[in-house]
Structure formats: C-alpha cells, structure tokens
Chain A
Amino acid sequence: MRNKSSIMIKLIPYIIVTTIVFLWYYMTNVSLTADPILIPKPQQVIRAFIKDRVWMVQGLFASLGRLLLGYIIAMPLATYLGVWSAWKPIVHRIFYPFIRVLSPIPPLIYSPFLVALLPSFKSASMVMIVIGIFMPTYLNVVHRLDHIEEKILVPALMLELNDYEMVHYILLPYAYPGILTGCRTTLSTSFMILTFAEMMGADSGLGFYIRYFADYGNYTNVIAGIILTSIVILIINALFGFVEKVAVPWRT
C-alpha cells in the first residue's frame, strides 16, 4: 500500500504538467476558448523553437556567459572576504555591518543609476549580477562560520595555526560545502537580474529574445523563450547539485 502511494506521489508533478499541456492544447485547438494571439497553439511554439534554434542557442550562450562571469567574479570575492570576516574581528567590523544592511535591497534598484554611471549597459548589468551574487554569498559564509562546530575548531586552535593557515586549511574547507549550496540559492536571483537587464538594454541573450518578440506582439516566440529559460534554469540547478555531490566527497 505504502509503495503504491509513494509512486503516486512521485507521479504527481508529471500528471500536473501533462494536464496543463493537455488543457493548453484543448483550449487552443479544440474548444478555441483561448485568445489566439496571447495564447498560441503548442505546435506553433514548437515550430518557433525549430525556426529560431540558432538565435536561441546564441542567446542562451550569451546569457550563460554573463552568468558565469558574474559567478567567477562574485563567488571567490564573497567567499574569501566572508571567511576573513568570520575569523578576524577587524575585517568583520569593516565589512559585515554594511553588507548586512545593504543586502535586502534588490540590486535591480541600482540599475538606472548604474546605467548612467557606467560606460555600457553590459557593464551595468554585470555589476548588478555581481552584487546580486556577492551579498547573499558573503552573508552565507559568515553565518556558516559563526556556527562552526567546536569539535572542528578546537583541534585547530590547539595546533597554534596562524591566521593564514586557519583561513586556508580550516575555515575555507569548512565553508566550502555551504558555498556550493549557496550557488543554487543565488541562481534564481542572479538569473532574474540577468534576464531583467537583458530585457532592458542588451542586444543578445534570453531576456533580450523574450523582450524583442514581446515588442512585436509575437507571443508564440515569447512563450518559447520563457520555456527555454525555465529549462535552462532547471538544468543548471541539477548541474550544481551534481557538482556538489562530486566535489564534496566528505559529506554524504
């Protein structure tokens, strides 16, 4: 009995998706109750995918490139600063209060100012993405290390490690699994900033693709873009999960 119900529970998401697709198909093809412009037929969306595949793939890579760059800049910076902040009270005093106070402000707020301040829209959007990843990652690292287990900290203290050794051999490895988990949680925020920025002023990327066709009222391609973006986020999320498993062998 229990087995049967657990299989049912696992099937629920698939059933929901199938139902939505079916309803979509039914309303657009059979009952014709849906607005033909706002809600195109599923087969039209599939056709849009096929027709625009090159454009979409290029857009995809443009977006991923920006995202990757954002992570490459923000993650090491946030992690390193976070670890030092957790270890040295003076560093903590300098950075933590500011980042703590500023972190709830959505980075998108800065966009009009950053666009005016920085030479290109691209650089402005990069700065926003970096801020969006940096703040939560930094706080995550500091908080994780605030609660470092005594059974790990005490043996390290007894070894009379200097600051450099403490940070590099003890605190960084300790923070590391949390950082990878943090990557997944910052993913949605950073993607939101990214696509928003692309919608505002980029000339490539997934956000730009959606915006471009929305301007022309071509909602078939808009929906195709939304579906593609969702799939990409799902894949990246799964990828992070996989990396977490492989890269952290000490945590089963």
Chain B
Amino acid sequence: MTNNKNILKQKGIKVECKDLSYYYAQQKNKEVLQKLNVVFEPNTFNVVLGRSGCGKSTFLRILAGLQEPTEGLVLLDDESSTQPSLEKSLIFQETELFPWLKVNKILEFVLKKSNREAANQNNNHFRVIVNDILERLNLGQAGDLYPHQLSGGMAQRVAFAATIAQGARLWLMDEPFASLDPDIRQDMRDLLLELWQYNSWKIESKSNEIKSRDIHNLSFQPIKVLLSNKTIVFVTHDIEDVLHLAEHLYYMEDGKFTRYLDFSDLDYEQKEHFRTEILDWFRADDTSKVENLNAKG
C-alpha cells in the first residue's frame, strides 16, 4: 500500500519561471536573460534550442539552483526554489561524477544519500537496486570500472543511472550528447526517450538476484526511485536532438524565448517537416546579429 502511495506521488515536477532575468553586475545593460516567463508542465520533454551564448546554459543553471537570478522567480510545483536539491539533476556534456569511486559504488552512494530514511537498511538491498539499474541501462559490465575507464557513451549512461538512483524528477540536461560520436548519440537519444516514457520499469530483469515482482516487494523507499516520472529540460544547439526528442520546443535568442513549437504526439517523420522552419530561425537569428553589428559599426 505504502508503495502505491509513493508511486502516485512521484509525478514529474512543474517548472514555472516568472520574470526571470539575469545580468552580470558590471554590465547591467547586457542582460543574459530577459524577463523569461515560461511553464514546463509535469512529465513533459522540453527542448531549449539556441545559438551558443544565447543564455541557455545560464537558464539551466538557474533552474538547477546553482546561480541566483538577478530578478524573478523559479517555482517548482508552485514553491520557490533557489538551491540545488535531490529533486533536480543537471547532466553536462561530460560527466565524471565521483572519479575516485567505481561505478557501482557511485550509484550506491547516490542511492543512500537520496534515501536517508532507509540508510539503516541492509547494504544488500541497495546493491540489488544498483545492479538492476546498471543492467537496465546496459551497464552490466561497468559496475566495477572507474569513471575514467568508461567510453563517452557509457559515462553518459552512468550519469543517467545516477540521476535515476537520485530519484530526480526534474532532469536538466546541458547538451549532454554534444561530445559523443554521431551513432552513439542516436542510441543515447533512444535511451533517454525510453527512460522518459517509463513510468515504471518494464518487468524483465535478467539478473538472478532479483525478480521483477521482488522490486515491488522491497520494503523500503528506493522503489520510488525506479518509478518516478520526470520533467526534462534539454538544452541544445543540435537540430537532430530537437527532431528526435522534443515534445515542446523553445527557441532562445539573446536571453528571450522568441519562438515555440508544440510537438506533442508528433513522431519523428512528422517533426521532420519542421526542419526547414527551424533552420530558418537560426538563419534569421544570424541575420539580425549581423544587422545589429552593422548598426553599431
């Protein structure tokens, strides 16, 4: 019963930004973010597209609570949020997590810290969950490796695994696939979509240690971890990311959202029709920059 209750509770987070502005103290006239107003609904996949330097990384860092906005508010589930917290996870282009721990120890550490109420549980319980996460992300072999021994794609999988173990309901992703090989990038997009669409693990564990129904019978909290829904805010400048992943697409230009497309219920082929339109946004963006420069020059 308690488990069911937890499952119900674990919705993705609703993110709301009210008049969010950010500028550096020295240059008040140059705003990095200009009065952003936006709502990311729970369990949605939001992609923020923009040229480098448009302010999208700053936006993500403010959502993560790593930077304070100069003005405005970030509301998570209608409550103001200014600090990093367990509910949020920020995944970078390159992740190493804790390089002094082996992968399975990293996940165990994250799992324990995000489930403090279960900290007195037998370590075995945590290990079962860790192994399960590893296996489901095709990281079965990686458990005993140190992060520096992983390939780029594996390292990002481990970052996903850690985010799952953390039970984060808001996944903030800062061009997470930008440094990967193109073919691996596609695999990772598929994996991310799969993870996002899960509201529970598909019950097909291959491990001998754990049978699927056992997951539901585990008496302690980490179960919520595996079942949580997530809201994703994904920052990129790669149009392929947009076409494969986006449910809601926001285009950022000079610290403002200038365009928006609703891709809900569209598949890749249908989104493909928007490719030219999106590329035109980039072009228009460039032209206006050149015009600005000329005006100043």
Enumerate chain A interface residues (CB-CB to B < 8 A): 149-152, 154-161, 165, 169-170, 173-174, 176, 249-252
Contact = CB atoms under 8 A, between A and B. Distances in A.
18 contacts: A149-B96, A151-B97, A154-B92, A155-B90, A155-B95, A155-B98, A155-B162, A157-B66, A158-B64, A158-B85, A159-B110, A159-B114, A160-B84, A161-B113, A169-B98, A173-B100, A173-B101, A176-B100
Contact of B96 (A151, A249, A252): A151
B79 to A, nearest CB: 16
B281 interface: no
The 3 closest A-B pairs by CB, nearest first: A157-B84, A173-B100, A159-B113
Interface in B77-136: 84-86, 88-90, 92, 94-101, 109-110, 113-114
Interface string B41-83: 0000000000000000000000010100000000000000000
A149 B96 CA distance: 10
Given A159-B114, A159-B166, A165-B113, A152 B84 contact: no
B84 to A, nearest CB: 4
A150 B84 contact: no
Given A151-B94, A152-B96, A169 B85 contact: no
B148 A251 contact: yes
B156 to A, nearest CB: 12
Given A152-B99, A169-B109, A251-B99, A158 B146 contact: no
A247 to B, nearest CB: 11
B89 A158 contact: yes
A154 B64 contact: yes
Nearest to A160: B86
Given A151-B95, A176-B100, 8 more contacts: A151-B96, A154-B64, A156-B98, A158-B86, A158-B90, A173-B100, A250-B100, A250-B148
Contacts of B225: none
Contacts of A154: 64, 66, 84, 90, 92
Contact of A152 (B66, B88, B98): B98
B147 interface: yes
A76 to B, nearest CB: 18
Contacts of A169: 98, 109
Interface of B: 64, 66, 84-86, 88-90, 92, 94-101, 109-110, 113-114, 146-148, 162, 166, 168
A28 B147 CA distance: 59
B6 to A, nearest CB: 19
Nearest to A176: B100
B86 A159 contact: yes
B158 to A, nearest CB: 11
Nearest to B116: A160
A158 B148 contact: no
A157 B101 CA distance: 17
Nearest to A173: B100
B127 to A, nearest CB: 18
B99 A160 contact: no
A155 B91 CA distance: 8
Contacts of B166: 158-159
B245 to A, nearest CB: 22
B84 A250 contact: no
Q: Which of A150, A151, A169 has the most CB of B within 10 A?
A: A151
A29 B164 CA distance: 77
Contacts of A170: 98
A152 B97 contact: yes
A4 to B, nearest CB: 35
Contact of B168 (A152, A158, A165, A252): A158
Contacts of A176: 100
